[in-house]
Homo-oligomer: A and B are copies of this chain.
Amino acid sequence: MSDVSDWWRTAIIDMEPGRIALRGHPIEDLIGHVTFPQMIWLMLRGDLPTEGQTRLFEAALVSAVDHGPQAPSIAAARMAVTCGLPLNNAMASAVNMLGDVHGGAGEQAVELYHHVDRYDGSIGAALTAWTAARGRIIPGFGHRFHKPIDPRAPRLMALVHEAAGADVVSGHFADIADAIGEEISARKGTVLPMNIDGATAMIYAELGFEAPLARGLFCLSRSVGILAHAWEQQQQGGRNKGPTPPAYRWTYDGP
């Protein structure tokens, strides 16, 4: 029997009939005593965050919930419900789309910050090494839409400085992020400000989350907007909603 039970191993949850413990805490001791963001932290890391950590953590979660129906994931969620899908399936089709390009920039930005942190040399040399290995796009900086500035980034930066002032975090990754922004702005000859992915990645790095979790947490956060839009579309109705009004169709460029 043991080899079968051993096939699935976890340090997250322990269960017997009438008993559920998460990370060692009976569930009834958590319900009503920890907040939802604290619960997220506990599930991912095994310990409970301090109040200061929680405040910074949930600022990041709050900031990334939505970017409107022009985002492929949000459009997909809205189209999905008009195809007859319940909310769970609509959410799945949408969260699935938060791939390397749409939802992966936060993860890549954490990797970038760690790369700069560990790099033995100047910030300029570190960035040159990064682009040589990973391509010309610097994750976390610049935005094709929010010019000159993404309003979420300075707000999150202020909260990090506040938290660093209160010794909640070290501020080390905020310094790194600032240095990267300055370096690439100097290279481009124009200010290339931090975007939402760069800002949330800075927070996740400050709080000690590993890079893949920046993507995972973005998925949790964006799931809120995805759900809200799917639900709004369900109330609006519609059947088989396409991307553009039916009159427009598409351009055929084949034989």
A residues bordering B, Cβ < 8 Å?
1, 3-15, 17-20, 22-24, 26-28, 30-32, 34-37, 39-40, 43-44, 46, 55, 58-59, 61-63, 65-73, 75-76, 78-80, 82-89, 91-104, 144-152, 154-156, 158-159, 212-213, 215-217, 219-220, 223-225, 227-232, 234, 236, 239-255
CB–CB A146/B79 < 8 A = no
Closest to A14 in B: B252
A66: chain B residues within 8 A (beta carbon): 12-13, 22, 43
Given contacts A36-B37, A82-B101, A232-B10, contact A5 B88 (CB under 8 A): no
CB–CB B248/A4 < 8 A = yes
CB–CB B87/A212 < 8 A = yes
CB–CB A69/B26 < 8 A = no
CB–CB A231/B44 < 8 A = yes
Q: Please measure, in the bound complex, the distance between the C-alpha atom of A70 and the C-alpha atom of B224, giving whole angstroms.
A: 26
Q: Please measure, in the bound complex, the distance between the C-alpha atom of A31 and the C-alpha atom of B63, giving whole angstroms.
A: 6
CB distance from A83 to the nearest CB of B (A): 4
CB–CB B99/A24 < 8 A = no
Q: Please measure, in the bound complex, the distance between the C-alpha atom of A5 and the C-alpha atom of B243, giving whole angstroms.
A: 11
CB–CB A36/B23 < 8 A = no
Closest to A29 in B: B155
Given contacts A103-B88, A230-B216, contact A9 B236 (CB under 8 A): yes
Given contacts A35-B58, A68-B15, A224-B220, contact A10 B253 (CB under 8 A): yes
CB–CB B152/A20 < 8 A = yes
CB–CB B72/A27 < 8 A = no
CB–CB B156/A31 < 8 A = yes
Closest to A250 in B: B8
Tell me which of A4, A66, A73, A250 has the highest count of chain B C-beta atoms within 10 A of its own C-beta: A250
A154: chain B residues within 8 A (beta carbon): 28
A15: chain B residues within 8 A (beta carbon): 67-68, 145, 249, 252
